[in-house]
Structure 1
C-alpha cells in the first residue's frame, strides 16, 4: 500500500475515505499473543531537566516541523515519535511528553501538514499519509546523532517506539500494520483505533492501549477490539469514567504507565502497570501465549 501525495488523500481514493471508519467499530479479528522479548540492556537514568529543539523535515514535499524534547544527560537515549490528534498540535501534549523525556527518552513530535490545528489545508483523510511521515521523522532524528547540534551523541537508534492520541493513535497503529516500521519495538495508542482495518504484522513488538470507557469520539469498544487484534505482547489501561481527553486525575497514571511500559519494552524488567482506583489494566505483556478468541 502506498501513501498518497500531500493533500491528495481523501479525493476519491477508497483507502483514504475509510481511514476514519473504525472510530466506532473495528472489524479486526482477535488474535493470540506471541510474547515479545525486550532487547535487554541497562536503561539510562532519569534526568532533572529536559531540553527542547525544533527541526523542519520534509518528505515528498510534505513539510514536517518537529518539536523535540530530550533528556539532558549523558545518554544515549531511545527515541519516541509522538503523533498528535486531529486539529491538535505537539504543544497540546507537552506535559505528557516532557514527563516521558524526564525518564530518559528523546521525544519527537511532528506537526502534520493537513490535520494540525491552524492548518490552511485541513483534510481529515490525510491521516492515511501520516505513518510514513512519522517513520521519516524517526529516520531524521536518528541522523541528528551524528551531526553537530543538541541531539549529537544522545540517540540510541536501536531502541525506537511510537505513540499517538486519537488520529495520532490511528497513525501509530498504521506504523505496526499497513506501513510497518520494523525498527519499532513498542507502540502506545491513546484513544485510537485501527488503520484502514489492516491487521498488525511484522516482527513482534509490544503495544499499550489507553482508553476511556466513556469516550464518545473513538469508542472504547473499537479500541478494545484493536487491542485484542494485536498478535504480540499487549496491555490495555481503561479509565472507567474516562472520555476522549485525559483528566487531571488520570494524567499521573497515564504518564507513569507510559513510562513503565517504554522502560520494559525497550530494556526489560517488570512493567508494573496500574490504573489505580480509576480503571482497570489488562496486562498480557509477558504472556507466552494467551488466547483472545480466534487465532490467526
Structure 2
C-alpha cells in the first residue's frame, strides 16, 4: 500500500515532465519527505588527490546496449579521447527524456576528465512503447546494473572504479536519490540531484557517507523547490544545495542559452572535481557561488 501511494504521488508529480513548457502548477511533496533536519552531518572522505587533466579535452561517444532480464538499456557513453583512466559519472534522464538531450552538459563533464555513462530507461525514455511513469521506481536497479556492465566490459579499462558518482535530472534525479537510499549502490561516493527529490524512493540514506549536491530552481512547477529542499535537509552526510532564483524545471540544465545554465555547468563540475579528483581548489570555487548552502 505504501508503494502504491508513492507511485500515485510520483505520477501526479512527474506526468508533465518533458522539454515542452510545463504547466504552471505546484504539487505536494511526498509524505515520505518530512521537513526535519538531521543533527550532525557525517563527514565524507575525499579520495587521494588526482592530477586534473588539461582543460578542454576532445570527447568521443559510443552507444552500447545491455539487457537486465527483459529490460533493454540503450546506453550512451562519453569518454575523453586522451589516454588514461578517469572518474565516471552515471547519469539518468527524466521522463520522456533521452541521454542525448543533455549532451551539452554531459560533454562538458567528459571534456573536463570524466567518463559519463547515460542509460535510456526502457519505459520512461522518449518513444518508449510501454511508457510507464511508475517504472521510475525500478530505475535505480537499472542504473546499478548498467554501471556494473560498463565496469566489467572494455569501457571499464577507461574508468577509475574507486571514483564513481551518480547524477540525474527530474525523474532521473529521483533515480539518483534512490541509489543512495532504498537502492544504495555502495560503489558510489558522490551524487548530483538536478530538480529532484526523494519522492517514491524515500529518504532513508544508507551505507558509507557520500557527498550529495542538489540544484533546484525556486520556481520549478513540477518538482517543487520545497520538496527538493526537504530531501536535501534529510541528507545526513556532507552536502550542498544550489538555489536557482526564478529557475524552472528544464532550462537551467538543458538550455545553454539560459542565464542560469553556466552556473549549473560550472558548479556541478566543481563538485565532481572536489569529490572524485580530490581537488581542494574546487571547494573554494564552490564556496564563492551565490545562492549556495554548503556543508561540504
1:273 matched to 2:286? The reply is yes
Aligned counterpart, 1:4: none
Moved more, 128-137 or 14-23: 14-23
Moved more, 174-183 or 135-144: 135-144
Give deviations 1:90-133, integer Å, cap 9, x for gaps.
11100000010011000011000111111111100000000010
Change (3 A) 1:120 1:206: same
Change (3 A) 1:142 1:195: farther
1:160 matched to 2:164? The reply is yes
The higher relative CO (CA closer than 8 Å, separation ≥ 6) is in 1
Q: Distance in 2 between matches of 1:111 and 1:275?
A: 35
3-state DSSP of counterpart to 2:189: strand
Aligned 1:107-122 pairs, distance under 5 A = 107-122=116-131
Aligned counterpart, 1:185: 189
Q: Distance in 2 between matches of 1:109 and 1:225?
A: 27
Aligned counterpart, 2:152: 143
**Quick check: 2:57–2:113 contact (8 Å CA) kept in 1?**
no
Q: Distance in 2 between matches of 1:152 and 1:283?
A: 33
Give deviations 1:215-254, integer Å, cap 9, x for gaps.
0000001101111110000000001111101342111111
1:127 matched to 2:136? The reply is yes
Q: Extract unaligned runs of 5+ from structure 1.
A: 1-9, 286-296
Match of 2:43 among 28, 32, 35: 35
Q: Distance in 1 between matches of 2:37 and 2:51?
A: 33
Aligned 1:222-237 pairs, distance under 5 A = 222-237=227-242
Q: Distance in 2 between matches of 1:162 and 1:60?
A: 23
1:174 matched to 2:178? The reply is yes
Structure showing the higher helix proportion among its residues: 2
Shift of 1:76: 0.6
Aligned counterpart, 2:85: 76
1:207 matched to 2:220? The reply is no
Match of 1:263 among 238, 261, 273: 273
Change (3 A) 1:125 1:152: closer
Change (3 A) 1:241 1:16: closer
Aligned counterpart, 1:98: 107
Query: Aligned residues, how many?
Result: 268
Q: Extract unaligned runs of 5+ from structure 2.
A: 14-26, 253-257
**Quick check: 2:203–2:235 contact (8 Å CA) kept in 1?**
no
**Quick check: 1:79–1:138 contact (8 Å CA) kept in 2?**
no
Shift of 1:18: 4.8
Give deviations 1:138-168, integer Å, cap 9, x for gaps.
1111123xx3xxx363111111100000000
